[in-house]
Structure 1
Amino acid sequence: MTTTVLETPAPGPVRNGERALAPDLARGAMLLFIALANAANFAFAGQPGLDPAPHGLQRIANFLMATFVDSRAYPVFAVMFGYGLVQLARRNPNRVLLRRNALLIAFGAVHATLLYFGDFLGAYGIVGIVATLLLVRRGDRFHKVVLWLWAYQTAYAAFLAVTAAIGWRGGTAGIVNSPNPSLAAHSYARSILDRLAEWPLHTATVLGFVVIVWLGIWAGRRRVLEDPAAHRRLLVRAAAWSLGISTLGALPYALMCAGMVHADPGTVEAMARLHAVTGEYGGVGYVALFGLVSSVPRFLAPVVALGRRSLSGYLFQSICWVTLFSPWALHLTGTWTAILAAVAVWVVSALAAHAMRGRGPAETLLRKFAYR
């Protein structure tokens, strides 16, 4: 059985000189998409965080959000998480990886309790522990299983598209934001109680992204992003096919979100399911697209810096959303308010990351305990 050797050069975190450009650029850029999605959730106190009765330019905003952002941003971080696990495994024994992922669960619990129920850190920690114990150090032949799983999911997405098209029924139903009580709570204390109930359920529903993480592990073992020139053909194909599937799978639901197409509740639900499943391909496609970038202009340096401090940037965003949109705080609302706030917070966080000489505060704390 052929095995890709995971060397252990020197224990500790991946050093700046060993970091590949593409992962940091992808993380930094996609934090803008995370900001757009989460700010909208807060602004509408529910998911998907889109105006259910759009008009004028709001139709375009809904369409673009549903096509390129919703369910298409977090898979990027899932791929990057799996890729990062391999990089860490080259330098550290399993006990360090297990401790680091356990700390992510703790970070997630605090983040979800104090700020935002839609936390992904806890789920990353759980999946990271499973991946460390069962996946990271297995042989190449074993890791080919994930390619078959991805092929199966592609066939399933095609099945959903065909059955949804055959079962299409016209009607007057539109999208409805599923309410999140913690986002609409009228006191901070009440919001904490609501989040304590919401976070475990949310974490359970997103654990399925272990397959996307596994795909990141497969790519990390082949150093696809460390040596993009050697894998250019693979990256071009992955970007074209994955972004194509993601966009086509999103279109019917996006048109409904924009109020341009109307159907019955069953059809809306079927299109929402297709939208969610094909969103995972958006994550792969975006990663491949960033992998094709071998260098970036100087003005994008803050984006790369933010990617290197993505944990701090992610937590900073949640603090901003709680302050700006909570009913007991500034209580801002609306599509355009959410978009402007998301862009402004992302720009500020990128500039702040670029001004930092060392690691971000969250990264410093995580590494202090993980590499004790």
Structure 2
Amino acid sequence: MGRAGETGLPFPRERIVELDALRGIAVIGIAWMNVYVFALPLQAYYNPAAYGAQSALDYAFWAVSFVLVEDKFRTLFAMLFGLGVAIMWERGTGWREHLARMALLFAIGVIHATLLASNDILRVYALAGLALPLLLQLGWHGLGLAMIALVALHLGGGYVWLASRSPEFFALNFGGHPDGLAYALELGRESVGDRIVRRLASLPATLAAISAGVPINLASMLAGVALWKSGLLPSRWSRGRVLGLIVLCCLVALPALTLIAFSAHSLAFDPQVVARNALVLSAPFDLLMGVAYAVAMLALFTRIRDSLGVRLLAAAGRLSLTNYLMTSLVFSALFASWGAGLFAAVSRAEALLLSLVPAALMLVWSPLWLRLYGQGPTERLWRAGARAITGRHA
């Protein structure tokens, strides 16, 4: 077994169905929000008043998404990524192999962002993952303090960034300014060749932008490790303590997120307010909701671990990297100029319905693929590439 954590809990050497099912839930939840990146101009992702909100139902979907979905499932995905790195480290992964894995993940993210999804999260995970092993020897109390420091760094840096931007910047990028919308519509309809040229030319600026997401994502990764070391994810807490943590997280986060969403609505979705709320102010509460989701769903999956639903989600989770990339491919086929060309032709509610397409596909194809090949294609490529770089063999 691996080395024990603060509570004497070793990291697992075999796959845990409940954790794989959590990964499946996370990748499906990410699709809920990512559909807006592909279906609507970039301003509409955060601001429903900017584009795509045609009825009260669209605003209702925005509010529900903001409070319950936006960045919560990315947080959950990051938590599980952090736990995965910790498990690999306990199994004997050294710095050389770890750095090779992060470098390859970053390369996959760059390719993904260039060809398909400009909001790719793999690049941020790779950058945050570079520092993760330095913190793995902390006990769960120390991990909690590190998380608080990282969240504070995110908040402080975010407010400094907001203060450095002009009102015109917010109007163009987070509001319904005609020039900003016209440019976003042009980008959404560009050809594959034009997109590749533009994205490659902007790589240096993009790297600086995604680096700003490292502290909050590293905090999320540490949350996953801390929950394991505390004995919670292995289900060694009593039902009362589990329920208490869920209730505490929700009592803090849900009223705060609801108030933040209400502030945007009451101020007529002012672009500067929208940017502050989505990029900075909501972050600590998104993290709390991610923790609540992880704990609640793990408790549920433990009770029904042999059910068909859990098995399907676990299969999707074992192929989480492949399914994450596949989701972007499906959305591109639906919305891009080289696909069905539905970009800017659907409402928020219609886009949400279309997000069910990749979710259904991954639940169908994941168990079939695993039965035939035992491992996802991108997961196999990632592992084999790291071994090739380091000279290690299976």
TM-score by length of structure 2 reads 0.76
Task: Kindly report which structure 2 residues correspond to 1:95-244, keeping only aligned pairs within 5 A, or say none.
Answer: 95-132=96-133, 134-138=134-138, 142-143=142-143, 145-146=145-146, 149=149, 176=175, 183-196=187-200, 197=202, 199-208=206-215, 209-225=217-233, 227-230=234-237, 232-244=239-251
Q: CA deviation at 1:223?
A: 4.8
Choose the corresponding residue for 2:48, options 46, 51, 63.
51
Relative distance call for 1:248 and 1:66 in structure 2 (3 A) is same
Aligned: 1:283 with 2:282: no
Post-superposition Cα deviations, 1:157-215, rounded to whole Å, max 9, x if no partner, equal 9xx9xxxxxxxxxxxxxx73786588524211121233332642442231122122122
**What's the offset of the Cα at 1:149?**
3.5
CA shift at 1:355, angstroms? Answer: 1.4
How far apart are 1:319 and its partner, in Å?
Answer: 0.8
Shift of 1:278: 2.0
Note if contact 1:181-1:194 (Cα within 8 Å) is conserved in structure 2.
no
Partner of 2:333: 323
Mapped contact 1:114–1:192 kept (Cα < 8 A): yes
- Tell me if structure 2 keeps the 8 A contact 1:105–1:121: yes
Counterparts of 1:147 and 1:59 in 2: how far apart (Å)? Answer: 33
Distance in 2 (CA, whole Å) between partners of 1:264 and 1:336 is: 22
- The answer to whether residue 262 in structure 2 is matched with residue 252 in structure 1 is no
Q: Rate the CA distance shift 1:78–1:183 in 2: closer, same or farther, 3 A.
A: farther
Q: Alignment identity in percent?
A: 23
Structure 1 segment 295-306 matched on structure 2, within 5 A: 295-296=303-304, 297-306=307-316
For residues 279-330 of structure 1, the C-alpha deviation after alignment (integer angstroms, 9 at most, x for no partner) is 2222222111122121332233211110111001000001112221123432
| Structure 1 counterpart of 2:356, from 318, 323, 343 | 343
Q: Structure 2: how far apart are the matches of 1:183 and 1:243?
A: 38
- 2:21 equivalent to 1:25: yes
Q: What is the CA–CA distance in structure 2 between the aligned matches of 1:300 and 1:7, rounded to whole Å?
A: 24
Query: Which residue number corresponds to residue 370 of structure 1?
Result: 386
Give the structure 2 partner of residue 91 of structure 1: 91
Partners of 1:306 and 1:350 within 8 A in 2: yes
Deviations 1:39-95 (A, max 9, x none): 112111215525324413222212211111112221111111111122111212323
Q: State whether residues 6 and 89 of structure 1, in contact with CA within 8 Å, keep that contact through their aligned partners in structure 2.
A: no
Q: Which runs of 5+ in 1 are unaligned?
A: 161-174
Contact 1:239 1:288 in 2 (8 A): yes
* In 2: Cα distance, 1:275 partner to 1:139 partner: 27
Contact residue 140 and residue 230 of structure 2 kept, 8 A: no
Report the aligned-residue RMSD: 3.3
Q: Hey, what's the Cα distance between the residues in 1 that align with 2:10 and 2:384?
A: 20
- Judged with a 3 Å threshold, the aligned counterparts in structure 2 of structure 1 residues 268 and 188 are, in CA distance, closer, same or farther, namely closer
Give the Cα separation in 1 of the matches to 2:20 and 2:208. Answer: 30
Shift of 1:245: 2.9
Q: TM-score with structure 1 length normalisation?
A: 0.80
Which structure 2 segments of 5+ residues have no match?
Answer: 160-173, 388-392
C-alpha separation in 1, matches of 2:71 and 2:106: 22
How far apart are 1:231 and its partner, in Å? Answer: 5.6
Contact 2:83–2:225 (CA under 8 A) maintained in structure 1: yes
Cα offsets for 1:323-346 (capped at 9, x unmatched): 211234322132233212211211
Q: 1:147 to 1:33 in 2, by over 3 A?
A: closer
The corresponding residue for 2:168 is none
Matched ranges for 1:8-87 at <5 A: 18-47=14-43, 49=45, 51-52=48-49, 53-87=53-87
Question: Aligned partners of 1:318 and 1:8: how far apart in 2?
Answer: 36
Once residues 86 and 112 of structure 1 are traced to their aligned partners in structure 2, the CA distance between those partners, rounded to angstroms, is: 26
**Pairwise CA distance, 1:363:** 0.9
- Residue 170 (structure 1) aligns with: none
Does the 8 Å CA contact 1:36/1:339 hold for their aligned counterparts? yes
Q: Kindly provide the amino acid, as one letter, of the partner of residue 45 in structure 1.
A: P
Tell me how far 1:353 sits from its aligned partner.
0.4
Query: Matches of 2:245 and 2:44 in 1, distance apart?
Result: 27
Name the structure 2 match of 1:360: 376
Counterpart of 1:19 in 2: which secondary structure? Answer: coil
CA contact (8 A) 1:45 1:181 kept: yes
Contact 2:57 2:349 in 1 (8 A): no
CA contact (8 A) 1:116 1:195 kept: no
Q: Tell me the distance in 2 between the aligned counterparts of 1:144 and 1:51.
A: 35
Q: The residue matched to 2:380 in structure 1 has which SS?
A: helix
Name the structure 2 match of 1:167: none
The alignment partner of 2:282 has SS state of helix
How many residues in Structure 1 have an aligned counterpart in Structure 2? 345
